[in-house]
Every structure is written in structure tokens, then in C-alpha cells.
Amino acid sequence: MAKNPIIEYQNITDTLQNNYMPYAMSVIISRAIPEIDGFKPSHRKLLYTMYKMRLLNGGRTKSANVVGQTMKLNPHGDAAIYETMVRLTEGHQALLHPLVDSKGNFGRQYSRDMAYAAARYTEVKLSKICSEIFGDIDKETVDLVDNYDGTLKEPTLLPVTFPNILVNPNQGIAVGMASNICSFNLSEICEATIKLMKNPDSDIMDVLLAPDFSTGGEVLLNKEEMREIYRTGRGSFKIRAKYEYDKKAHCIDIKEIPYTTTVEAIIEKIIELIKAGKLKEVSDIRDETDLGGLKITIDVKKGTDPEKLMAKLFKMTPLQDSFGCNFNILVEGSPMVLGVTDIICEWLRFRKNCIKRGIRYDIEKKSAKLHLLEGLEKILLDIDKAIKIVRETEEDAQVIPNLMSGFGIDEVQAEFVAEIKLRNLNKEYILKRTAEIKSLTEEIAELRDTLEKNKKIEKIIEKELKEISKKFGTPRKSSIVSDSEIEVEIEEKIENYPVVIFCTKDGYLKKISHLSLRFSGEQKVKENDEIIKCVDTDNTAEILVFSTSGEVYKTKAHEIPDSKASLLGEYLPNLLSMGEGERVAGVVVTKEYKGNILFCFENGKIAKVDIKGYETKQNRKKLTNAYSMVSPLVKVMFLPEDTELVAISNIGKALIFNSAQIALKTTKNSQGVNVMLPTKNSKLSDVRLISETGIKDVKHYRTKNIPAKGAVIRPEDAETPQLTLFE
């Protein structure tokens, strides 16, 4: 009997639809994207468990207890559940309005390395603001569904009485989509919600200026960009640290940093810049964070302008960062990217539905109570008759039917009357109970009227929001600065002085000042290495380093440490972080990007490219496709202007030509034009300025037109050292 093959072939489209799509939808809907109440399922399950554990008004309990109970709703490990809890705590400081009141070490939002304590050591309870999250949950304001094993019920949403989705930040990465929602000030959000509820077309930027973060900092406000975020839910804005300068101690204290970064990331970047010699004003940096809060101290050298230094740090380090907004939320199970205005409108729709469900619940309960009291009222007409019916009924099962027929009441009312204690069968008790009939009737009528009138429901929402704002509102933690106030170009002060740049055949570069060069001896190089280029320039020059992989690396003279004749200098592949196997093919030094670059190839072709093509405004450090890779590169030459050149082949021929004969190309990776025609087993080996060769009979090697094969080098010219280097 033939066995079935181990590998079963199937269409990839079927695999994606049957296997991958259910997983993707599960991640999107049940894990990563928050819903209109502002929670992901993991948050909701945790908070609801704590609510059922009576941790809203009671004392704290060990976090491990909460984690264990949450497993009944959340089918994940204890570590994942506890990590979810950590972010919601007051101690972690990730939320503007923490939902979990905590005791113990829960790490910090602004620290990458500060670990939180284990669940067995910490204690938690629900914070006071959670009363606004679970307010009417017992009035069937939201749907309850079975948990994963069908033993318990859990809510699909929580009936939050304020737009929590915008008050506390949320981030999630799903399959094919993500969500990144910044936080806003509670009071401002409540005011903006009331404003939009009264007029959906109103501009909320009057009251909702910008996001607000638990870590403080300064939001750099560009009104047009922020308005676009409010409208579309996409975009980004900048946030930067706050600092204080201590004149006596000559140090800068940073006490608030962007929400998107950490203390460790900032310190590491500053140390990296100090080592690279780009922050000469800084003498030391240390983390002085303690129980009082975050503090990074930067010691500066005397005479340093702290504002200019901070401007440089904002530009070069995470002390200024961008927050990318992607307001992707689930609305009735569908992911949607909505602007702030649309999110508030969706929340209002959700909240109105919660209030209506709560009103219907109240009407139902009050109507049921009214119905019982109306039955009791009928008994009031003849209490003795009711007693007589009960006393004279021989079978217990007939008591209810006899009361129903005797007073004209239904079974529910008869059951209620029959259960009244003997001591309560007095006129006073019954009159007190039936006195509620009028108030209940009025309340039910009022509730029905509210249910039918949208304006009354909006009044309820407005009242709730004002009370929440008054009770839980806090001043802004992130101050707002107009970006027009800080858009100042930072000019780095570069010490300028004359230097000479030496390049060797093996890829070493030395930058030596004129002063040092005056008192130095012979230039030191590695064994079998030699200096092939010497350029007299200054410390502001730019250096283009062409690599054997067809790329050009850009650096500036002032970024290269000063060297001495007795040192080997900087090894360019290491200095410029070249790829594995990359070597230096040529070096060009320029100041004004004026002139042309010649690329000379083994096949006898030469390309002339305007050096302007390598100038970049974005300060890029690397450009690809810097020259043609069709034939091996022999030499890179920088010519400020056209001049006489000598092309030399490996078989002992030379050709004199003028660079003006070569047409200028617009594309950097041009193959160039034929200059020295190759013959069998010959190739171009070098190109030099005619002044460097010492040729005596110039006419012998010159031709009217190019390309040409060149002339054999005569013995008297072969004695010239420059012409004996060919292979």
C-alpha cells in the first residue's frame, strides 16, 4: 500500500486564507488595537478582574493575586499579564491618569534598564478614577460574553464616562497595521468633547492645543501640522526635554525628557558624541535619578553658552524626538484611522448608547417595583380579606391563585404579597410602601422622556464630563512652545586653520597642521605603503573617499583628529565604517565643490564628472553609484580646471592629451569616453599631470585626436621615476 507523501502541496492563497488570515484578524481585533473605550483586551480583562475582586474601594492586594485571578479571563502567562499591569500603575508613570494604585517598585517609563519588582513583592488596587470606568457596568450598559472556557462572563467594552482613548496613551503593532495614540490633558479633552457635542463643526484647537505626556517635556507646536493630525489621525510632532542651568556648578540639569525615549538612550548618545569629538563643550555626564525623580546632569566647560549647547544636543541626540501619530482604533470590530474629532464623535455615540442602556435598565427595574407596589395597593383595600384567603386556603400551592382571583392581581404581585411578613400586615407599613408609587411613576416618566430626547442625554454627558474634569483634572505636564520660536539654524563653531592632508596607497589619511608640519620629520607609513596624495587646504574642507564598491563616503576635515608625521594616521575603511572587503579607490579634497573629477578605468576610458554632483544639502555621509563599475577603476583625479595629462599603459606606452577633449558627463556613474585604445594584453595603468612626469619630448606622445594607442616610452623618458611605475 502506497504511503501518503510527507509534504503536501497546496496553493499559497489557500494557506494564507485558511491559516494566516484567522491569526492576523485575531491579533488585530483581540490583541493589538485599542477599542473606543481606550483599552486593549488585555487591559480590560485585568481591570475587570480587579473590579470583581472588590479592589475599587478596598485595600491593596498582592499583584500575584490579581495576576492569578486574571488568568481566568486572559489565557496568557503570568509574566505577560503582570507586564500589562505594570504599565497601568502609578509607579511606572506611563499614564497621565494611572488606573492602578500601586505600592512597590514598578520601574519607570523613562528608564530602559530599571527593572520592576516581581509580582509577589508589589501590591495594587484600582485607582479612584476607575470609578468613572466601571460606573454603570452593573446596569447592563455593555454586553457581557463568555470567557475562553465558558465559566465566567466578561465585558466586551467598559462604559467609560470620559474619552479615555485620548487621555491615556496606547501603542500596538498588529499584522499589517499598527496603532500609536498620544495622550491629551483630561480637562482639555472634556472641554473639547463638550464643545464638539454642542457643535460638531467647531474647531477644537481653541481648547485642545496639543498632546500632553506623563513625562512632561516641551511640545513644539506647529498649528497646521497639529490641525492635520486632529483631522486625519496621522502625522508627527516634536517633543523635547526641559532643562535648568546651574551657573555655580557649571552644569545643565535635565529633569523632563521626551515620552518616546529613555535616560539610557540619551546618555549613550551623548557619550558617543563626546568620544567622536563632536561635543567638546561637555566634560562629564551622569544619571542622578533618585526618589525625587528623573535627573540627568551634564557638566560643561567654562565659557560654554548653555543655550547653544542645548540647541546642539536637541539636534544631535534623543533629547528632542518625534512622536509619530497613527490613531488606529477598533470601531464595532473594524480598524479605522480616525482624527481626534472623529474619535470624540465615535466616543459620544458609544457613550450615548451606554446611557440609553442604563436608562432602559432603570426603567425596567423601577417598573417591576411599581408593578409590585400596585399589587400591594390593592391589598390595602381589604387587608382582612387577604388574611382570610391565606388562612382558609387548605393547600400551599393554592395561596397564589386564590390571591390572584380574590384581588385581581397577577402572579408576580400575588407572590410578593404572599411573602410579606405577618408583622408587616398593618396599615402603616402598607401605606408607607404604596406612597412610593407616585414618585416611581414620575421617575419612570422622566426616564422615558430622557430616553426619547437626545438633548437630555447630552446634558447628562456634559454634567459627567464637567464633574470628572473638576474631580480628576490636572494642570498640563508638557508645556507648549511654538516651533517658530525655536527654528534657529545651529551653526557649529569650527576652528579653522591651515592643514595638509596626506593619503597613502593602503588607505591611511593624516591631517597635519602647518604648525606641526613645520617641526616634524619624515612622514611615517606602514611597510610597503607610500604617500600618493598631498593636499594643502584648511580645517573646513570636505573629503570625498571613493571606495572599490562604487560608493563615495563623505566626511569633513574638522571631524578627523589632528595627526603628526610620526603617526600612521586614520585608517579610512575603519573611520568611515566601510563594508567588509571595501578598500579606498581614491580621495578628493574640496572646499567649494568647483571643478571636475576624472575617473580613469583599465579599459582606457575616462569619465569627467562635475564635482557639484557630489554636493548634498542633507549632510549625507554616503552616496551610492558614485562612479561606473563596468571596468576596474585605476585612478580618481580632481581637476580645478582643464589641463594637460599623460595616460600610461602597462606595456610601456604613453599618451598626452588635454582634459578639455573629454566631454563633461551629467551622470555620476557614466562609463566615460575612450582615451587610450587598448591593444592585446594592454590596459591603462595610470594617469598623471604632465608636470609630474618630467617628459622631455612632449610632441612624441601627443596626438591631435583621442582615442589613440599612444607612443612607446623612449629610454630617456623611461629614466624618469614617474614613468617607471607601470606594470
Range 324-362 burial, b when 16+ CB lie within 10 A, else e: ebbbbbbbeeebbebbbbbbbbbbbebbbebbbbbbbbb
* Residues in CB range of 501: below 8 A, 6 or more apart: 509, 510, 511, 533, 534, 535, 537, 541, 543, 557, 589
Q: Are β-strands 552-556 and 508-513 bridged in parallel, bridged antiparallel, or unpaired?
A: unpaired
Residue reference for cell 390593592:
378
Q: Are β-strands 664-665 and 320-326 bridged in parallel, bridged antiparallel, or unpaired?
A: unpaired
The catalytically annotated residue of 121, 148, 243, 497 is 121
377-382 contacts, C-beta under 8 A, 24 or more apart: 377/430, 377/434, 377/437, 378/407, 378/408, 378/409, 378/413, 379/407, 379/417, 379/430, 380/427, 380/430, 380/431, 380/434, 381/407
Cell triple for 287 = 544619571
Q: Assess contact for 252 and 283: CB atoms under 8 A.
A: no
**Residue 647: strand, helix, or coil:** strand
**Bridge partners, 509 (sequence order):** 503, 570
Cell triple for 7 = 509534504
Cα gap 680→685, rounded to integer Å: 14
Q: Assess contact for 593 and 611: CB atoms under 8 A.
A: yes
Cα gap 93→114, rounded to integer Å: 13
307-314 contacts, C-beta under 8 A, 24 or more apart: 308/490, 309/252, 309/281, 309/282, 310/243, 310/252, 311/488, 311/490, 312/279, 312/490, 312/492, 313/270, 313/279, 314/240, 314/241
Would you say the C-alpha torsion 25, 31, 36, 37 has a positive or negative sign?
A: positive
Cell triple for 477 = 505636564
Burial (CB count within 10 angstroms: exposed 0-12, middle 13-18, buried 19+), residue 319: buried
Cell triple for 381 = 383595600
Cα gap 708→604, rounded to integer Å: 10
Cα gap 245→251, rounded to integer Å: 6
Cell triple for 240 = 523635547
Q: Assess contact for 89 and 108: CB atoms under 8 A.
A: no
The crossing angle, in degrees rounded to 10, of helices 263-275 and 306-316 is 100
Q: Assess contact for 381 and 387: CB atoms under 8 A.
A: no
Q: With CA atoms as reference, report the closest residue to 323 among 249, 441, 240.
A: 240
Per-residue HEC secondary structure of 699-725 comes to HHHECCCCCECCEECCHHHHCCHHHHC
Q: With CA atoms as reference, report the closest residue to 440 among 524, 394, 376, 504.
A: 376
121 catalytic, yes or no? yes
DSSP string, 395-461: SGGGHHHHHHHHHT--HHHHHHHHTS-GGG-SHHHHHHHHTHHHHHHHHHHHHHHHHH-HHHHHHHH
Q: Assess contact for 157 and 37: CB atoms under 8 A.
A: yes
Cα gap 76→506, rounded to integer Å: 58
Cα gap 275→664, rounded to integer Å: 42
Q: Active-site residue numbers?
A: 121
